[in-house]
Amino acid sequence: MADWRAGLRADPLPWILDGTVPGARHLALRQLLDRPADDPEALAARGETMRTDPVAAILAAQDPAGWWEKPGSGYLPRYRSIVWQLVFLDQLGADGSDPRIRAACDYLIEHSQATNGGFGAVTSGSGRPPPSTAIHCLNGNVLRALIGFGWLDDERVGRAIDWQAAAITGEGEIRYYRSSLPGPGFRCGANEGQPCAWGATKAVLALSRIPAPSRTCWDGGRTGTPMPARWSATSTSPGSRAAG
């Protein structure tokens, strides 16, 4: 990725890598310089990330059971509950193998996944979200974080991927709801039924984290056959597999 700097006025890497912000150094080593996960410098930067704020402060506020602020499906209060803390931790480069983060991931899946596989939310109570609350932006945010933290092979995450793909394409087992997800193509009830760029961005960012060799291609229904090797979660319906 050396040529990406050619269009810039100056090279930002010395500033990003100077160690002032360990999380930025870790992400730059991994994502800009393509260092492997076991690279000594990357490991050291990730370790420092876990020991310093904001990651350390977020983890210090976590309940031992895995949630933040209050138990339940974890969407509210916005930006302070478990959904948001896991999103932040992932984007800050936190270590998914840390027992606190693993506990949070498992808690979120157990309390926030609807029966249709998508991630949703309830505004009150402690029950699981109904299927009608699963939407592109929320599912995409949660899915991206879970995959980033190493949960791609978990069967429950596979169901969320299946739901995401089916919700986008309209193929496979998917039910639409006028109030939340009125149809395929990133349509959103909160956006007056029109396609939502916010939801589309989150969904695509999540699906893009599935490694290319692990994906299962789909030809858009032109031949009715899946194309060679790509990841295929739990469903046997080609249309309900992650599109790409």
Give me the domain span that covers residue 47. 1-52
Nearest to 106 by CA among 139, 65, 58: 65
CB neighbour list of residue 211: distance below 8 Å, 6 or more residues apart: 231
> What gap in Å lies between CA 7 and CA 167, rounded to an integer?
38
Half-sphere exposure of 103 (CA within 13 A, CB side): 11
Give the number of other Cβ atoms within 10 Å of residue 117's Cβ.
26
On the question of pLDDT at 197 being above 60, the answer is: yes
For residues 171 and 226, state if they share a domain: yes
Together in a domain, 41 and 78: no
User: What is the model's pLDDT at position 104?
Assistant: 98
Q: Residues 44, 65: one domain?
A: no
DSSP state of 137: H
Please compute Rg for the chain using Cα positions.
19
Nearest to 74 by CA among 34, 33, 123, 25: 123
**Residue written as tokens 């194309």?**
227
| Predicted TM-score (pTM) of this structure | 0.86
Could you tell me if 157 and 92 lie in one domain?
yes
- 163 alpha carbon, distance to own chain's centre: 13
pLDDT tens track for 206-221: 999 999 888 876 555 4
> pLDDT tens, 144-186?
999 999 999 999 999 999 999 999 999 888 999 999 999 999 9
Model confidence at 226: pLDDT above 90: no
Whole-number average pLDDT of the chain: 88
Share of the chain above pLDDT 90, in %: 79
Please determine, for residue 242, whether its predicted confidence score (pLDDT) is greater than 80: no
Q: CB neighbours of 31 closer than 8 A, spacing ≥ 6?
A: none
Question: Do 197 and 221 lie in a common domain?
Answer: yes
How many structural domains compose the chain? 2
Shared domain check, 43 and 69? no
Phi (first) and psi of residue 14, to 5 degrees:
-55, -40
**Residues 103, 218 within the same domain:** yes
Q: What per-residue confidence (pLDDT) applies to 2? A: 54
- 125 — pLDDT class (breaks 50, 70, 90): low
- Give the model confidence (pLDDT) of 110-120 as tens digits: 999 999 999 99
- Six-digit token string for 2: 């050396």
Using one digit for the tens of pLDDT, what is the confidence trace for 5-36? 889 999 999 999 998 999 999 999 999 999 99
